[in-house]
Structure 1
């Protein structure tokens, strides 16, 4: 007993330490300065004579390409603004936190940027679920927030300090339903939805409704949850429904795998989707299984418009790649915020909110931006086809 007593006490002590570690609060998200661009603010107070902007993006995790693209687009917009003199002689700097693609991390990052870093505005996120978590914090603190790519209508319903520069899911769902009926002449379509994604569920709901209104038939709905890797059961069920196409409004991380497994189970009809497909990683994951599929998007690099081509040239020179729609919309969001700052009498929350809300006919790379009464952007969409391992422009659809 004497020999075992010290061992028992040691074991109890280790157990208590283990309990303390489990109950301790999670550490605050670290600034992503290691991944920051030329305008990234290091930890601590911003440099004297500068204006601090907050950014939240999924720099790690399953949707990391979205966060990296957004960071690049915003950085390029702020670099250009600073080269032109900044805002009233003050340089613009951005502090970036990683959401990891998770709503709880996004909310925590937004809270830290607002309460501790005292940013004048927030930019982000790409995913609607994360943006909604951030929007709760921004609205409560009366700090304006602009999301580049969150298309769920619920995002801007969070309050009058929340804005977006992209179209919303009802329009995107309408675009793909109309394209499926009128361009592809499809009669029967099945739908495969990520039931844990506000983006996916919202887009699926609108597509279902509009496709039926246009005279088509939805032969069935199947679902999966973010993080799943085996979709064969759902795809086999869909195959038995004999659809002419499958609408898959998910993110590229899932869609690429779904495409491969669809072909494995003998489902060889085209897949249809939304802007969540837009990533070079999509073609790495899906390969030839994606050939002949279609998705809606915000812009096409094939557009000969000088505004688009000039941006492509600048982005390639800075980052060595062709920008995806997230990079383009993040660039537009950054430029729109700078424009509002120049028009606002000061950088207080109410003043910036009013200036952003008054935005009309703003010349974005992804189309002219007009903000409506719901603080949503009214603008065109494009439809892309996967052909030869890349996305090829098919058509433009206006509101």
Structure 2
């Protein structure tokens, strides 16, 4: 069943119970004709593929910006070295996504639309992407995130124009919940930022951990902009859980300080983190050993050494590779879809993204895949981040989650995961 026909069937069934599906943060998912093609004839592109980026240069996920920008930069460089798309160089325009405390992302989208972007890569934050998705897709432009993990994007209204290379949180949540149980924790406390990302991930962790026999004895969904987290941490302390899940962004550094202050240290309680706060810079001011033994999950396999070397050719200062592969694959897939459609318009690209990601002759890299397309072949692009293989709602159908551990220096080795867990997103 195609992405379009499946969405229409899902919409018909979902209309009977639309009010029943919402996130932990209180935002209702929209089970509408989300993936159906817009009415009317899609406009042809102008012959030049223009890719915009709305990625974090500032804000709570700014540490993810450099690897994401580098991934897109490398992809565009390689595409243009191979002759570009439709015989012309790809144009790239970078903008800042900021975070939900500002209106930067909306202003950035306005700028990109004014400059005729056909596809926009971003945002990193699920909440930021939610704030701009109507503006982007309403303009007939593809929105493609390398890092959005909120489950709600699977059913959000997007006119068939939203895609992502990062897996939905139901997989990361399952891995986290299973990990905590496997480590022998039968009581768990959760401190989650109250937003589109944090609350949804906390829901999945709770479901999985409790299905595995553990009990979530306390869950606190906190305001990430709060000046003080003492009351939130005190609620966790009162229940004295064996494990503590920390689901947030850069404000987690302040939460960590409060946990230590109240005696809930990582040597007495097993802490777990997520992709939003797994950072090698945010905790360096903490005393040595504060994060020793802390485990965390990041979607995607580690960036291969050869790929890291290529990334350094576009950003020699790069030290973090999180979501670089997903960003690279997003840009390559957009270029291949435009080439396959022989049209750089957003709607034409969206119509071909699923096709170029699976079902044809396997290929890697833009040049090899583009050569097959020019020879009239159907292709199956396998990316650096994995096989991708979009399902009919624009999510990768399978994905890998890496489990990492902090050392005494309050850093984790991004090149050395404790393990990788691969999962079927539909399961």
Normalising TM by the smaller chain, what interval? 0.7 to 0.9
310, 314, 317: which one aligns with 2:310: 314
The answer to whether the 8 A contact 1:53-1:94 is kept is: yes
Alignment CA distance shift 1:265-1:216 (3 Å): same
Question: SS state of the match for residue 94, structure 1?
Answer: strand
Counterparts of residues 190-209 of structure 1 (less than 5 Å) = 190-195=189-194, 197-209=195-207
SS of residue matched to 1:246: strand
- The residue number in structure 1 matching 2:119 is 121
| 1:63 paired residue number | 61
CA root-mean-square deviation: 2.0
- What residue in structure 2 maps to residue 291 of structure 1? 292
What does 1:61-210 align with in structure 2 at a 5 Å threshold? Answer: 61-102=59-100, 104-114=103-113, 116-156=114-154, 157-159=156-158, 160-182=160-182, 184-195=183-194, 197-210=195-208
Superposed displacement of residue 285, structure 1: 4.8
Number of equivalences: 343
Structure ranking higher in helix proportion = 1
Higher relative contact order (CA 8 A, sep 6+): 2
Instruction: Using structure 1 for the length normalisation, give the TM-score.
Output: 0.81
* Partners of 2:343 and 2:349 within 8 A in 1: yes
Aligned equivalent of 1:386, options 401, 406, 426: 406
Query: In the TM superposition, what are the counterparts of 1:260-275 in structure 2 within 5 Å?
Result: 260-268=257-265, 269-275=269-275
* CA distance in 2 between partners of 1:166 and 1:98 (Å): 20
> Structure 2: 5+ residue runs without aligned partners?
1-45, 359-379
Q: Distance in 2 between matches of 1:339 and 1:56?
A: 21
Q: Who is 1:3 aligned against?
A: none
1: CA distance, partners of 2:151 / 2:341: 27
2:86–2:342 contact (8 Å) kept in structure 1: no
Higher alpha-carbon deviation: 358-367 or 121-130: 358-367
Given that residues 51 and 93 in structure 1 are in contact (C-alpha distance below 8 angstroms), is that contact kept between their aligned partners in structure 2?
yes
Shift of residue 210 of structure 1? Answer: 1.2
Aligned equivalents of 2:136 and 2:256: distance in 1? Answer: 38
2:325 to 314, 328, 338: 328
Per-residue CA deviation, residues 278-317 of structure 1 (Å, 9 max, x unaligned), is: 332233255532211111112454x7xxxx1211112234
Which range moves more in the overlay, 358-367 or 378-387? 358-367
Q: 2:329–2:384: 8 Å Cα contact kept in structure 1?
A: yes
In structure 2, the partner of 1:255 is 252
Gaps of 5+ in 1: 1-47
CA distance in 2, matches of 1:333, 1:208: 31
Equivalent pair of 1:298/1:366 in contact (CA under 8 Å): no
Checking the alignment, whether the CA contact within 8 Å between 2:120 and 2:142 is kept in structure 1 is yes
Asked if 2 retains the 8 angstrom alpha-carbon contact of 1:126 and 1:326, the reply is: no
Tell whether the 8 Å contact from 2:76 to 2:332 is kept in structure 1 after alignment.
yes
